[in-house]
Structure 1
Amino acid sequence: LLVNNAGGQFPQMALDFKVKGWNAVIDTNLNGTWYMMQSAARQWVDRKTPGSIVNIIADIWRGMPGIAHTCAARAGVAYLSKSVAVEWAPHRIRVNCVAPGVCETSGFVQYPPEGLKTYPGANPMLRVGDAHDIAEAVVYLASPGAKFITGEVLTVDGGEQLWGDPWPPGRPDYFEPKNT
């Protein structure tokens, strides 16, 4: 089993990205994930053993204003995973992703208070998730219970992709609801 859960980003509007910051996020979140996937798959193929990869991405389905760099990288991981799930199926290697929505973790300290205040209403459950929500999804995809699942993304977001309006760096005034 390989679980790719490393990553990083910083809240910033896309017009303000510097090359170094963009490359750091892409290199960590996309390239680092790829290198781990390829290394694990090569070992399993050489040993003729089955394997399972679970990549942690993000709830990218509606874009991620304020952290577009990580959205781009995580979307790349999602579709890379789908592509190699097909290529590696003959080797009995399953590749899936878990896409967390807003989950309270130690990473919350990276975001300004104005960004965090939007999170409790970011999904119809009106709360944030936690690390256990994501861990349980990973355990499921890694388990024999998911032996016929490959190339999929399990979104664990409390319905955020259907509802929410998160802005990690805080919602710009332009997008604040206006009373008419």
Structure 2
Amino acid sequence: TNLNGTWFMMQIAARRWRDEGQPGNIINIVVNIYRGSMQAAHSVAARAGIVYVSKSVAVEWAPLNIRVNCIAPGAIASNGLRNYPREAAEKFKYANPMHRAGDVWDIAQACAYLGSPAGDFINGETLAVDGGYQMMGEVWAAGEPDYFREGRSVKKTQNKIINGELP
């Protein structure tokens, strides 16, 4: 539902603003758009889809005074980190050059900026709020999966993926 839900929400909002002759501002939140992830091709594709459909409608809806942007958060100290083992969650803060996790207020302030008059001339952009993660971050912040580390040979890993032997 990542891509579909975002698309439907944007359409409903844009139609309403268009029909009422009001300006609009959509801010989509999309995580980790800078790299692929093992066994998450469907999710990575949906995230990329959100970014690029946002760019497309930003151009298409600009004459209606509707802006569309994305925010790409990095590791944020939030309830979401509870989904990871404690040791793994602690490592996320070292995956960016600032060596800390962001705060939910970092994301809120980015939304406030894009949604305020200060952001009126920003359209079709993705604002990374990630402490510089996309520039140098560790791909395996929580540690490499065992199966990836074991078979450094590309051929061995490819065969496991093709044969459905990976978890």
Q: Residue 86 of structure 1 corresponds to which residue in structure 2?
A: 59
Provide the aligned C-alpha RMSD in A. 2.1
1:123 aligned residue: 96
Hey, what's the Cα distance between the residues in 2 that align with 1:169 and 1:155?
20
User: How far apart in 1 are the matches of 2:91 and 2:39?
Assistant: 13
Deviating beyond 4 angstroms after TM superposition, the runs of 4 or more aligned structure 1 residues are none
Contact kept in structure 1, 2:94 and 2:141, CA below 8 Å? no
Aligned pair 1:43/2:16, yes or no? yes
Give the drift of 1:166: 4.4
What letter is aligned with 1:101?
A: G
CA contact (8 A) 1:118 1:165 kept: no
Identity of aligned residues (%): 56
Q: 1:53 aligns with which of 2, 7, 26?
A: 26
Letter in 2 for 1:163: M
- Report the Cα distance in structure 2 between the residues aligned to 1:102 and 1:57, rounded to whole angstroms: 12
Query: Aligned-pair distance for 1:120?
Result: 1.9
The letter of the residue matching 1:158 is G
CA deviation after TM superposition for structure 1 residue 70, in Å: 2.8
List gaps (5 residues or longer) in structure 1. 1-26
TM-score norm. by structure 2 comes to 0.81
Structure 1 residue corresponding to 2:45, chosen from 68, 72, 77: 72
How do 1:127-138 residues align onto structure 2 when only pairs under 5 Å count? 127-138=100-111
* TM-score, normalised with respect to structure 1: 0.76
Greater relative contact order (Cα < 8 A, sep 6+): 1
- Stretches of structure 2 that go unaligned for 5 or more consecutive residues are 151-167
Q: Secondary structure at the match of 1:118?
A: helix
The 5 Å alignment of 1:150-169 reads 150-167=123-140
